[in-house]
């Protein structure tokens, strides 16, 4: 599903973010990528969504080599990969429904189809009673649920969650992790970048540890040990 083979990324003037990293993630896995600040976690996310190119190595997703992806192909890639960020990135002047629908509108999906799909996705994240609310009227956990709904709207094969609980309290953190596990049970591959040791250790799933750009550990049933 996701393959990084001997990938290196160096930022100017000479700062290595990833060094000869090899990571293989199979379809349907739930994988946590952990490491201290500056370990290369966010660089992996940026590479996978083609925000930045690798300097060396090969990256493929679902059999598609995106190492030298063309700019016009990036939107197609991002419909296959849903992304959730720590800061939600919701549009403040749009309702819950409109925030989720927007991802379909920019792809040219007809209004009738949007009216069918959006309620289905909002049901998955348990927000059917919040469709007309604006982001500022929601709790942090609810905002993240909207962000997850938006990430799922194209039914992606992969969901990348970059510090998805970083701005949440313990209760909302628990709810969001349970939602990500539910999405994984549907068959979606989930890759979560986090620094939260408690979450990672409670999951008892695969853990990839990065340290100064290197893959330091890859445990099938792991813990955050750094």
Domain contains 180: yes
Query: Which structural domain, as residue segments, surrounds residue 183?
Result: 2-91+157-219
Q: CATH number of the domain that 6 lies in? A: 3.40.50.300
Domain contains 199: yes
Cβ–Cβ contacts within 10 Å for residue 157, how many? 18
Q: Report pLDDT digits (tens) over 127-151.
A: 999 999 999 999 999 999 999 999 9
Domain contains 52: yes
Q: Report pLDDT digits (tens) over 159-200.
A: 999 999 988 999 999 999 999 999 999 999 999 999 888 899
Q: What is the pTM of this model?
A: 0.91
List strand residue ranges (DSSP E) for the chain, in order: 2-11, 15-25, 30-34, 56-61, 64-65, 81-85, 158-162, 189-193, 206-211, 214-219
Per-residue DSSP letter, 177: H
């Amino acid at each position: 599903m996701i393959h990084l083979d001997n990938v290196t990324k160096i930022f100017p003037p000479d700062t290595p973010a990833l060094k000869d990293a090899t990571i293989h993630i199979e379809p349907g896995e739930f994988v946590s990528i952990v490491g201290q600040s500056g370990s290369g976690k966010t660089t992996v996310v940026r590479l996978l969504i083609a925000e930045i190119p690798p300097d060396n190595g090969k990256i493929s997703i679902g059999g598609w080599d995106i190492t030298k992806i063309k700019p016009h192909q990036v939107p197609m890639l991002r419909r296959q990969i849903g992304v959730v960020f720590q800061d939600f990135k919701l549009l403040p002047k749009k309702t819950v429904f409109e925030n989720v629908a927007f991802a379909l509108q920019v792809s040219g999906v007809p209004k009738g189809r949007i009216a069918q799909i959006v309620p289905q996705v909002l049901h998955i994240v348990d927000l059917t009673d919040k469709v007309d609310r604006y982001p500022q009227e929601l709790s942090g956990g609810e905002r993240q649920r909207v962000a997850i709904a938006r990430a799922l709207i194209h039914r992606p094969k992969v969901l990348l969650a970059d510090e998805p609980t970083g701005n949440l309290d313990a209760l909302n953190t628990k709810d969001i992790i349970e939602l990500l596990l539910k999405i994984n049970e549907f068959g979606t591959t989930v890759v979560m970048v986090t620094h939260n040791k408690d979450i990672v250790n409670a999951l008892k799933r695969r853990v990839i540890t990065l340290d100064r750009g290197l893959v330091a550990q890859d445990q099938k049933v792991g813990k955050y040990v750094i």
